[in-house]
Every structure is written in C-alpha cells, then in structure tokens.
C-alpha cells in the first residue's frame, strides 16, 4: 500500500491507515475473484494501486463530489471508480450499475467482505434502469470509467441526474474530438459541457482527462432510448 499512500498524498486526498487496509482487502478480493472470471488484466499490486485505485479517485476532493450525497457509477465493472470513492467518502451513498449479473454478484460479495454499507449494486442495462422512477433524476453525481464514447455515455448517464447534478466521464488524455462529437447529445439530454479537467500523477506516468457535464434541464422522457439504440445510433 506504500504506492497508494504516496499517490493519495500527491493528490492531496486525506486517508487513514484503516482506509488503506480497506483498499488492501478490496485488491485481495478482486484478485481472488479474478482467478475465476476476467475482472482485470492488471495483477501487479503496485500497478493495481495506480491504474485502478488512484485513477478512480482523482475527483474525490472536487467540490462537486463533496457536495454530492447520491452517486451512481454506470458500468462499474469490478467496482471502479465507485468503490474506491465510496471507501474515501463514507458519508456518501453509492449505487453501482452493471449489465452483467455475474459481475454484480462479485461486487455484492466484495461489499460484504469490506463491510461497505454505503454502497449498493444493481444489475441491469443503464437504458432500462434510467427509466425506473426510483433511479431517474435522483442522483447528484454520475461517474463512469472506460464504458463508451461520450455521445453514447451521455445518454446512459444524464437521465440519472437531478437538475444541477454533474456527470464525470473518465477519459484518455486526448479527448477533444470526442467532446466535440458529444455536444448535440448533451443539448438533447438536458446537459451542458462544464469543463475538461486534466488529471495526472507524473511520478507514475498517469495522465487522463475527466469530462465534467452539468445537468441543466430535465432529460426528455424519450431518452434513454431502448437498450442498444444509443450505441447503434449515437445522438
């Protein structure tokens, strides 16, 4: 955990030894499950700490994150970035959504192992879940990492947000063309580009962008379209 400790310190993110121990147990659980199903290609502990943990929590101390109480992670996979953020922000409530039932069962097992009571896992496609009134328009923040290109991701994510909420799309270093292509989608879905924030840990060669989109108005009821449509025909 020395690598993670140094990374969190470099990012100015507060932590305790108990926090580091929870991260350690999370890594152990993911790598244990990884022996039975493909969760990650990264198995070196130091690389895991940077590529999965530090990469997930760049936004942990941003004002939008700290102000959020209900957070949804769309396409969470093995729990990134939702679980690392939930470990650091125990007063926030997190909903982790994934379309693969086996992954959701793994996440539920991990949550029990870590005794994380501020996180729930939900199985289903974002297009379907976002039409449920108990999920639609109720979140302050939506995070998503390595799921889809921005025009598609916007249709997955923005319906979950309340007006005034934010979407954080974790992207690569060069995201200009993707942002330009997503402007129509943002407008149709009740969102507006707020910022593109470069984030980095130079000592570890980690450099990305987080695209920040603000929910400025209600998403029309016809969005999201039925499952598969956003990817087949992006807005």
Strand partners of residue 144: 169
Portion of the chain with pLDDT greater than 70, in percent: 100
- Average predicted confidence (pLDDT) for the chain: 95
Q: Is the pLDDT of residue 1 over 90?
A: no
Q: How many folded domains does the chain comprise?
A: 1
Phi and psi at 147, nearest 5°, equal -110, -55
pLDDT at 174: 85
Q: Is the pLDDT of residue 203 over 90?
A: no
What are the pLDDT digits (tens) for 133-171? 999 999 999 999 988 999 999 999 999 999 999 999 999
Q: Where does the pLDDT of residue 225 fall: very low under 50, low under 70, confident under 90, or very high at 90 and above?
A: very high
What are the pLDDT digits (tens) for 161-201? 999 999 999 998 889 999 999 999 999 999 999 999 999 88
Q: Where does the pLDDT of residue 109 fall: very low under 50, low under 70, confident under 90, or very high at 90 and above?
A: very high
pLDDT at 33: 96
Antiparallel, parallel or unpaired: β 206-215 and 161-171: antiparallel
Q: What is the domain-level CATH number for residue 113?
A: 3.40.50.150
In a domain, 52, yes or no: no
In a domain, 35, yes or no: no
d(CA 159, CA 209): 22
Domain that holds residue 154: 58-232
In a domain, 206, yes or no: yes
In a domain, 34, yes or no: no
What residue has token string 């896992």?
121
Q: Where does the pLDDT of residue 202 fall: very low under 50, low under 70, confident under 90, or very high at 90 and above?
A: confident
pLDDT at 153: 97
């Amino acid at each position: 955990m020395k690598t993670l400790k140094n990374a969190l310190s470099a990012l100015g993110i507060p932590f305790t030894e108990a926090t580091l121990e929870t991260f350690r147990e999370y890594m152990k659980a993911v790598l244990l499950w990884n022996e039975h199903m493909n969760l990650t290609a990264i198995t070196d502990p130091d690389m895991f700490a940077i590529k999965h943990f530090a990469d997930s929590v760049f936004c942990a101390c941003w004002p939008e994150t700290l102000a959020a109480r209900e957070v949804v992670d769309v396409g969470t996979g093995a729990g990134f970035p939702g679980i690392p953020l939930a470990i650091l922000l125990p007063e926030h409530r997190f909903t982790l959504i994934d379309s693969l039932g086996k992954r959701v069962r793994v996440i539920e097992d991990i949550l029990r192992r870590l005794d994380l009571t501020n996180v729930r896992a939900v199985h289903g496609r974002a297009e379907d879940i976002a039409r449920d009134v108990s999920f639609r328009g109720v979140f302050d923040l939506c995070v998503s990492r390595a799921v889809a290109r921005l025009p598609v991701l916007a249709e997955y994510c923005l319906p979950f947000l309340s007006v005034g909420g934010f979407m954080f799309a974790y992207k690569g270093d060069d995201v200009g063309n993707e942002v330009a292509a997503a402007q129509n989608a943002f407008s149709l879905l009740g969102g507006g580009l707020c910022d593109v924030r470069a984030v980095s840990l130079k000592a570890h060669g980690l450099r990305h962008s987080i695209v920040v989109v603000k929910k400025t108005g209600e998403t029309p009821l016809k969005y999201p379209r039925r499952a598969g449509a956003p990817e087949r025909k992006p807005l």
